[in-house]
Amino acid sequence: MIKTILFDTGGVVFLQDTAEAFRRFTEIGVDARQFIGDYGQKGIILNLENVAIFAEDFRAEISKLVKKDLTWEEVQHCWLGFLKSVPATRLDNLIKLREKYRVCLASNTNPYIMAYTRSNDFSGDGHGIESYFDKLYCSYEMECCKPDEDFFKKILDAEDVKPHEVVFVDDSKKNIATADALGIKGVWVAPDEDWMPAVEKILKIHQNS
């Protein structure tokens, strides 16, 4: 029986605009393509998301790259380019799922994005992201990133659940592959695709197992 459902953020909870984020980074003089690939990060961005460096260190490193002292707000503005919109239907579906299951965020993310999503500006009607989840598992707070097995194992331990009792929804096939290998029921969705039909299908299949 399924007890817990894990969700990624970008491309899953909110619609993502990578081109806009890259444009904003370019405006301040940073070629973000050298740090961000398809569904993966590297260099100082990976270091930020697995807390090898802290947000202030990241701001300082980016400032060195562009030879200008950037503010927190300027760096955050670049990161928020990834967040295109938050469909109300997805938030409604998260609330619906919480009636029967424990619903948790499981995201590679960073303090710049989470400062916004945790604010009352996130939903458009005065609610932060914590209003829609029982628990937020963020890579920079867990000190590891997907698709590392440790990321999932830490969540399993914290939730006190077995892998077969968990569904994981993500738009990265690498992340889904790791989850599947651990026995978690992975649900891959294309970026920005409506995931509710696929989630309802797998929940129905395993409702009595």
Active-site position among 8, 17, 170, 171: 8
Short-list 27, 5, 24, 187, CA closest to 113: 24
**Does residue 57 carry a catalytic annotation?**
no
Among residues 58, 59, 69, 132, which one has the least CA distance to residue 101? Answer: 132
| C-alpha to C-alpha distances, 106 to 32, 100, 159, nearest whole angstrom | 23, 19, 12
DSSP assignments along 195-206, one per residue = -HHHHHHHHHHT
CA distance linking residue 16 with residue 22, whole number of Å: 12
Half-sphere exposure (Cβ direction) of 121: Cα atoms closer than 13 Å: 9
DSSP character at residue 148: S
Which are the catalytic amino acids? 8
